[in-house]
Amino acid sequence: MKIALAQLNPVVGDVSGNLKKVVDTLKRHAGAADLIIFSELFLVGYPPRDLLEKPALIARTQAAVQELLAISRSFPQTAVLVGAPTPTGLDTGKGLNNCALLICGGEILCRQNKSLLPTYDVFDETRHFAPATQVEVFPFRGETLGISICEDAWYDPELWSRCLYAFDPVQELAQKGATLLINISSSPFQVGKEELRFRIFHNHARRFGLPVIYVNQVGGNDELIFDGRSLFLDSRGEAVAVLPGFEEEVVTVDSATAGKPGLYAPEEEIATVHAALVLGLRDYLRKCGFSKAVVGLSGGVDSAVTCCLAQQALGPENVLGVLMPSPYSSRGSIRDSRKLAKNLGVQIKEIPITPIYRAYLRSLKKHLDAEKIGVALENVQARIRGNILMALSNEFGYLVLSTGNKSELAVGYCTLYGDMSGGLSVLADVPKTMVYQLARFLNRERPLIPGEIITKPPSAELRPDQKDQDTLPPYEILDQIMDYYLTEGYAYQDIVRLGFDPEVVRWVIRAIDRSEYKRRQAAPGLKITSKAFGMGRRIPIAARHDF
């Protein structure tokens, strides 16, 4: 059987636009493919979140299914497998299923609902969906299809120390006589996940002796980035086709084709981080109706990397860099920022903040100790810069890109309504040590980021001779402790046992816990690790604990 893997980029809520992608793909591949497979919940985009509570969205989706049924009558030789939310028809329960619909010749040949509904990290599917009551195979054109949806395929005791589910849908499909396993998915990107996914589907193919097709969504939706990397594996787990990461692609395969050892190779991790951030940034602006971005250029590595990513995502003509020197800005920082802008071909404006800052000092003289540059006056400078960027955004329609990294956001080394201002935080899930890796990656082909920006000690430049390390532990240490505490869930004693200085560990943990209120007010940040701040981490602010 000829099968087209349609790895496409839907827009959440845009049922008409997503339906058009399905129909256009059907028209292009009708006759050449017996079956075209789209990703999970493709008609509404993933994740639709609480849009699923709007009856109008469900009604529009049902109408789209009827439109697709009518159109499919003109292409009886080609079927479509597409994901959509469908009403359960029951008076009790959630009222919706996460469903895969097999459509051909004006009929729904098969419905398969999702069985395993994840409720961890960024997933909250039991909030909206009821699980499948059963799974069934379906005979189609010489094959018996075993259809599953995303999490249904992630039951693998070899990979998890604790299985979340008591039921293995893929095993059930294999036992019921499937000759071809198909999984439609919306699996978000995170560093290292691509290899884990391959291992899961490789294991399924080897375990059941069946070929496996995996079709994943691609594109950015809010914080989440979907990398695609759809697969067709033969019954030995060898790759027949591996679709590219971070771009749309439709590839047609023959279900009888044998794979080739070595065809699958994981992509370099820092390259995937770069591609994910570019795609996430581009799609966030495009899907929110923006075409241009503005970045405050400090002369530091964070703003330089952010500006590079914006230039690559949007084009140099759509990026504005703004230099806002203060009394404490070094000549080197101003020079390096200008050189960066020239290398990237982006526009720049220079708006000194010294006159505004002095006006603040005069106004606050009776109320603050204006003779001493403390945290309050440091933050005044950051907030002046934030206001300038927001003014340009209001006037010209730019989206402000926040430039802070995960390490700073973790311990609160950032200013509310200052450098945290913006519509998207590009590096919010990128630790400082990885920011340097990205900078070097961006400079592989030619020096986009001046070397001085990468090699000089990081500084906020909000007081004379300021360095980040005056306040923070070395980033190499901070990032490790942060990862153990946030990602691994280690307690204070566990981290100290690993050999870290007890006082440093205590400081980092307390800083992370105390800064939750800041993060709650931060711009959305692109997710690239297994534990990001934002929608997948739900920590109370008003809490007292000592872990």
**Could you report the average pLDDT of every consecutive run of 10 residues in the chain (547 residues)?**
98 98 97 96 97 97 98 97 96 94 97 96 95 95 97 82 84 97 97 94 96 98 97 97 97 94 93 98 98 96 97 98 90 92 97 94 84 82 96 96 97 94 97 97 95 84 67 94 95 96 96 95 96 91 80
CA distance 302 to 281: 15
On whether both 285 and 229 belong to a single domain, the answer is no
Task: Using DSSP bridges, classify how beta strands 224-227 and 218-221 pair: parallel, antiparallel or unpaired.
Answer: antiparallel
DSSP letter for each residue of 327-350: TT--HHHHHHHHHHHHHHT-EEEE
Residues 183, 198: Cα–Cα separation, whole Å: 13
The verdict on 358 and 414 lying in the same domain is yes
Q: Is residue 66 part of a domain?
A: yes
Buried b (16+ CB within 10 A) or exposed e, 2-13: bbbbbbbbbbbb
Q: Same structural domain for residues 278 and 250?
A: no
Q: Which helix (H) or strand (E) holds 212?
A: strand 212-216
Residue 529 resides in a domain: no
Residue 526 lies in a domain: no
Please check whether residue 78 is in contact with residue 29, taking contact to mean a CB–CB distance below 8 angstroms: yes
Kindly report the CATH number assigned to the domain that includes residue 394. 3.40.50.620
CATH code of residue 72:
3.60.110.10
**How far apart, in whole angstroms, are the C-alpha atoms of residue 93 and residue 385?**
50
Which residues are known catalytic residues?
40, 114, 150
Same domain for 6 and 36: yes
- Decide if 157 is inside a domain: yes
- 57 and 151 inside one domain: yes
Domain match, 244 and 329 both: no
Number of domains in the chain: 2
Co-location of 227 and 330 in the same domain:
no
Question: Which residues have a Cβ under 8 Å from the Cβ of 454 and sit 6 or more positions away?
Answer: 301, 436, 439, 440, 443
Same domain flag for 61 and 199: yes
Helix (H, G, I), strand (E, B) or coil at 288: helix
Residue 477 lies in a domain: no
Residues 330 and 226 in one domain: no
Contacts of 507 (CB under 8 A, 6+ apart): 473
Residue 466: its pLDDT value, please? 64
Cβ neighbors of 233 (< 8 A, separation 6 or more) are: 201, 202, 205, 211, 212, 213, 214, 239, 240, 259
pLDDT of residue 464: 65
What pLDDT, on the 0 to 100 scale, is given for residue 547? 65
Give the pLDDT confidence score for residue 463 in this predicted structure: 61
Given this model, what pLDDT does residue 74 score? 97
Is 413 a domain residue? yes
351 and 298 in a common domain:
yes
Instruction: Quote the pLDDT of residue 527.
Output: 98
Domain identity same for 101 and 212: yes
Structural domain containing residue 422: 274-472+515-520
In a domain, 267, yes or no: no
Question: Do 182 and 304 lie in a common domain?
Answer: no
Residue 48 lies in a domain: yes
- 398 phi, psi to nearest 5 deg: -75, 150
